[in-house]
């Protein structure tokens, strides 16, 4: 359970990708000499991210790989900020996001799973470990998830977090209400 006071102090939620938003598997291929990389994303996780946006909580993705798949998924979900570092150095990109938003590390929740996430998990106010996180990550996180990366961990966190803030019912009702009215131009609405 997340402490409600802590949950209400959070101004930004950030996620790792591989092992958090995905199951950590990467499909690599080649088509006509072009490298292609594919990742599997969980639809319910995407809807969870959308729920954060429905209650005006900015979302960031911070990853230690550069992937077109991540750019596309972030765009699809209207994620506010994305930092991709080709060398696995996440801290600099993360700090740039915080500076741009005027947010302190202690006002951030970060969901991670492995050693590349430790530098962020050590400084954020709400460090979160997915169910498949390594023991060293689990040991430093204030909130432990049961579900694993790419299999509902993001959604589990969002529900826990918004329930602690007393905003879960607001979020899902806004979602359902918007889909209970006649469809209008939805080109700016993110998919899940």
Looking at residue 78, its pLDDT comes to 95
% of the chain at pLDDT higher than 70: 95
**Could you state, in order of their start, the residue ranges of all structural domains in the chain?**
4-178
Does 186 have pLDDT greater than 60? Answer: no
pTM for the model stands at: 0.92
pLDDT tens, residue by residue, 121-148: 999 999 999 999 999 999 999 999 999 9
Mean pLDDT, residues 13-42 taken together: 91
Mean pLDDT of the chain: 93
Of all residues in the chain, the percent with pLDDT exceeding 90 is 81
- Write the pLDDT tens digit of every residue in 64-83: 989 999 999 999 999 999 99
Candidates 178, 189, 173, 170; CA nearest to 78 is 189
Of 152, 132, 74, 180, the residue nearest 144 (C-alpha): 132
Lookup: tokens for 57: 């909580």
DSSP state of 43: H
How much is the pLDDT for 62? Answer: 98
Name 171's Cβ contacts closer than 8 Å, sequence gap at least 6.
Answer: 51, 52, 54, 55, 162
Domain spanning 4-178, CATH class: alpha beta
Give the separation between CA 96 and CA 82, rounded to whole angstroms. Answer: 10
Q: pLDDT at position 86, please?
A: 87
Q: Which candidate, 63, 55, 51, places its Cα nearest to that of 149?
A: 63
């Amino acid at each position: 359970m997340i402490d409600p006071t802590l949950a209400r102090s959070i101004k930004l939620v950030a996620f790792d990708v591989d092992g958090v938003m995905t199951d950590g598997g990467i499909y690599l291929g080649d088509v006509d000499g072009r490298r292609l990389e594919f990742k599997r994303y969980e639809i319910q996780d995407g809807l969870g991210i959308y729920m954060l946006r429905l209650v005006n909580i900015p979302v960031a993705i911070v990853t230690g790989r550069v992937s077109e798949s991540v750019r596309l998924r972030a765009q699809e979900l209207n994620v506010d900020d994305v930092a991709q570092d080709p060398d696995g150095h996440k801290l600099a990109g993360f700090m740039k996001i915080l500076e741009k938003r005027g947010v302190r590390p202690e006002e951030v929740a970060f969901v991670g799973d492995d050693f590349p996430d430790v530098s962020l998990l050590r400084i954020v106010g709400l460090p979160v470990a997915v169910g498949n996180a390594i023991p060293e990550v689990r040991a430093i996180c204030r909130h432990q998830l049961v579900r694993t990366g790419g299999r509902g961990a993001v959604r589990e966190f969002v529900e826990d977090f918004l329930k602690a803030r007393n905003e879960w019912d607001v979020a899902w009702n806004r979602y359902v209400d918007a889909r209970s009215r006649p469809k209008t131009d939805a080109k700016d609405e993110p998919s899940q």
